[in-house]
Structure formats: structure tokens, C-alpha cells
A and B are shown apart, each in its own frame.
Chain A
Amino acid sequence: MKVTVLYFARLREALQREQEILDVAPGVTTVAQLRSWLVARGEPWCSAFAEIKRIRAAVDQTMAQDATPLHEGAEVAFFPPVTGG
């Protein structure tokens, strides 16, 4: 399954990339599983996801939870807690 993964703010800087298109392993069907799969790729994902607290996720531009399902072509974003306003 192909998904587009976007990173913002501190996480984007730690990973030195804004986005990547990934063909994830079979069995990666939720936000939590995608996150674990990214961390299992090693550095820099491993350290970035460990060091940045309370990383949140969005799927198709809507706030998501660990159990939110993914689909072919999904746009998944990971980012630190928001600080606008």
C-alpha cells in the first residue's frame, strides 16, 4: 500500500524532510502501525519519534488517533502539538 507521509515543525527538521511517498509493508493498516514501521526503519525516524513528545497524526488532513485506519493513497501527517494563535 502506498501512502504519502508529511512531517511538520520540529519533526520535519529532525528528519530533514517534508514528505515521502512510501510503499508500506502488508499489515501496516493503522496510524500506530505506520508509526512503528517508520521507527523500525532506524535512524533518523527512531530518534526523532522517541525524542519529540506527544507527536500527533492526521489522516487525509483530519486529526487522527492510533487506531485510525489507512488506505491506498492516504495522506498521513505526523507533527508535534500545535502552537498557533
Chain B
Amino acid sequence: MPVRVQREDFDAGAEIARLRSTDPKIGAVAAFIGVARDVNDGETVGTLTLEHYPGMTEHALEQICAQAKERWCIADVLVVHRVGELRPTDQIVLVAVTSSHRGEAFAACEFVMDYLKTEAPFWKKEATAGGARWVDARDSDEQARARWKETNSR
């Protein structure tokens, strides 16, 4: 159940190959990649700087992955999240889930992302033409997480 926070970019193909190649029971891989956009809330974004809480971040991500493993019959979960200064089109986060069948992998992957968005201590700051600004948390992210409390499946 690997979790990594790093400044460097990642190679999703290589990460997924490493996650699944030694387990012949895996029949499905669901992966999500979050990418830095060039426009947010109507303003052009030059750079995006990600701050985190070293130690707690890894701990929070491990707990989210553990919850996913308790909830679905999945083989493994990988989370790689970048910090530091990023530019539009740069990769921010990779979540990959392996399982025997696709349904569990899809659901668990979305669950991990929804919890990461609201529970893992990362903060984004954008540099725009109008100056630097901290990104505000979105209510829609809280709502996305809340729906996992109501139902086990999508």
C-alpha cells in the first residue's frame, strides 16, 4: 500500500506496472491522474505551489488507503502526490487501485481521491496576473466525500 509525497514528476505507466506485475490475481487497474490547469476561477494560472504537512500527510494518505482496503475487495492502492512548484499541464497526483474485477477498482479509486481532497493536508497557492492567492476549498469536494457515507456502492 505505497504512499509517496515527492517534488519529482512520476511515470504513471511505470508506477502501475510495479504495482500489479507480481500479482497474477489482478484483473483490473483503475487509475486517476490530477493535472494542473491553466485557468481557475476565471484567472490564468502561471504556477501552482503545493504545501503540505510532512508526516501527517503520509499518515493521512495511508489511513485513506487502509479504509479503501477495508471497504472493497482490492489488491493494492498506490498514491503519489507532488509538492512544490508546478505549472499548467504538470501532473499533481496519481491514484491507482488494483483488484480482480473492475467495479471494485473504479469505486475504490474514486473514494481515495474524494477523501484525499478533503482529508489530506495539502494546500495550493496560485500565481496569477493579479497576484498570488491561496485556493479555497470547494463545497463540491465535501459533498463528493459525504456521499460515501450514505452508500457502499455508486
Contacts and interface: CB of A to CB of B under 8 A. Distances in A.
A77 B120 CA distance: 13
- The 7 A-B residue pairs with the shortest CB-CB distance, nearest first, are A84-B122, A81-B137, A9-B123, A61-B56, A85-B117, A10-B134, A83-B135
Nearest to B60: A63
B53 A83 contact: no
Contacts of B116: 84-85
B90 interface: no
Contacts, number: 72
B92 interface: yes
A58 B50 contact: no
Please classify how large the interface on chain A is, using the bins under 10, 10 to 19, 20 to 34, 35 or more: 10 to 19
A80 B119 CA distance: 12
A5 interface: no
Main secondary structure of the interface of B (DSSP, over half): mixed
Given A79-B123, A82-B119, A82-B122, A8 B134 contact: no
B57 to A, nearest CB: 8
A6 interface: yes
A62 B121 CA distance: 10
Contacts of B81: 84-85
B145 to A, nearest CB: 11
B42 interface: no
Which of A6, A77, A80, A83: most chain B CB closer than 10 A?
Answer: A83
